Chain A
Amino acid sequence: MKEINYTIQDPLGIHARPAGILVKTLKQYKSSVTIFKGDKSCDMKKLLALMGMGIKKDDNVTIKIEGEDEEKCAEELGKALKEMF
Chain B
Amino acid sequence: MQVATGKSVLNGIAIGKIKVYRAPKVEINADLIEDAETEAARFDNAREKAIEQQNTLYEKAVVDAGEDSAEVFSVHAMMLEDDDLIDATKEIILKQKHNAEYATKVAFDNQAKVFAEMDDPYMKERSADIYDIEQSVLNVLFGISPEAMQGTEPAILVARDLSPSETVRLDKSLLLGIITKEGSSNSHTAILARSMGIPALVQCAEASMDWDGKEGIIDCYNSCVYIDPAPDLQKSLKKRQDDDIKQKALLQELKGKDNTTIDGKTVKIYANIGGPSDIGLVQQNDAGGVGLFRSEFVYLNSKDYPTEEEQFQAYRHAVESLAPKQVIIRTCDIGADKQVDYMNMQKEDNPAMGCRAIRICLTRKDFFKTQLRALLRASSYGNLGIMFPMIISTRELRECRDLLKECTAELTEKNVKIGEYSVGVMIETPAAVMIADELAEECDFFSIGTNDLTQYTLAIDRQNAALDPFLNIHHPAILREIKMTVDAGHRHNTWVGICGELGADLTLTETFLRMGIDELSVNPVSVLPLRKTVRGLDLRNPQEERLY
Residues of A within 8 A of B (CB): 12-13, 15-17, 20, 23-24, 45-49, 51-52, 54, 56
B120 closest partner in A (C-beta)? A54
Chain B contact residues: helix, strand, loop or mixed = helix
- Does B416 have its Cβ within 8 Å of any Cβ on chain A? no
Contact with A along B103-116 (1 / 0, CB 8 A): 00000000100110
Known: A16-B126, A16-B129, A54-B123. A47 touches B78 (CB 8 A): yes
* Contact residues in B for A23 (Cβ distance below 8 Å): 78
A20 near B119 with CB under 8 A, answer: no
Known: A48-B84, A48-B111. A24 touches B78 (CB 8 A): yes
- Does B85 have its Cβ within 8 Å of any Cβ on chain A? yes
A49 near B84 with CB under 8 A, answer: yes
- Does B174 have its Cβ within 8 Å of any Cβ on chain A? no
* Contact residues in B for A17 (Cβ distance below 8 Å): 71, 74-75
A13 near B79 with CB under 8 A, answer: no
- Does B545 have its Cβ within 8 Å of any Cβ on chain A? no
- Does B27 have its Cβ within 8 Å of any Cβ on chain A? no
A12 near B122 with CB under 8 A, answer: yes
> Number of B residues contacting the other chain (C-beta, 8 Å)?
20
* Contact residues in A for B114 (Cβ distance below 8 Å): 48, 52
* Contact residues in A for B84 (Cβ distance below 8 Å): 46, 48-49
Once bound together, how far apart are the Cα atoms of A75 and B111, in whole Å?
32
Q: A41: shortest Cβ distance to chain B, in Å?
A: 14
Once bound together, how far apart are the Cα atoms of A56 and B81, in whole Å?
24
* Contact residues in B for A46 (Cβ distance below 8 Å): 82-84
B74 closest partner in A (C-beta)? A17
Once bound together, how far apart are the Cα atoms of A46 and B115, in whole Å?
15
- Does B144 have its Cβ within 8 Å of any Cβ on chain A? no
* Contact residues in A for B129 (Cβ distance below 8 Å): 16
A54 near B119 with CB under 8 A, answer: yes
Select which of A16, A45, A56 is within 8 A of B75 by beta carbon. A16
Chain A contact residues: helix, strand, loop or mixed = helix
Q: A46: shortest Cβ distance to chain B, in Å?
A: 5
- Does B32 have its Cβ within 8 Å of any Cβ on chain A? no
Contact with A along B320-359 (1 / 0, CB 8 A): 0000000000000000000000000000000000000000
- Does B41 have its Cβ within 8 Å of any Cβ on chain A? no
Which of A23, A52, A56 is the most central at the interface, judged by chain B CB atoms within 10 Å of its CB? A52
Select which of A13, A24, A47, A48 is within 8 A of B120 by beta carbon. A13
B82 near A48 with CB under 8 A, answer: yes
Q: List 22 A-B contacts (CB under 8 A).
A: A13-B120, A13-B122, A15-B122, A16-B75, A16-B79, A17-B71, A17-B74, A20-B74, A20-B78, A46-B83, A47-B81, A48-B84, A48-B85, A48-B111, A48-B114, A49-B82, A52-B114, A52-B115, A54-B118, A54-B119, A54-B123, A56-B120
A45 near B78 with CB under 8 A, answer: no
Once bound together, how far apart are the Cα atoms of A24 and B82, in whole Å?
10
* Contact residues in B for A49 (Cβ distance below 8 Å): 82, 84
Q: B118: shortest Cβ distance to chain A, in Å?
A: 5
A47 near B79 with CB under 8 A, answer: yes
B88 closest partner in A (C-beta)? A48
Which of B78, B115, B118 is the most central at the interface, judged by chain A CB atoms within 10 Å of its CB? B78
Q: B78: shortest Cβ distance to chain A, in Å?
A: 3
Q: A85: shortest Cβ distance to chain B, in Å?
A: 14
* Contact residues in B for A54 (Cβ distance below 8 Å): 118-120, 123
Q: B215: shortest Cβ distance to chain A, in Å?
A: 41
Q: Name the interface residues of B120-165: CB closer than 8 Å to any CB of A.
A: 120, 122-123, 126, 129
* Contact residues in A for B122 (Cβ distance below 8 Å): 12-13, 15
A20 closest partner in B (C-beta)? B78
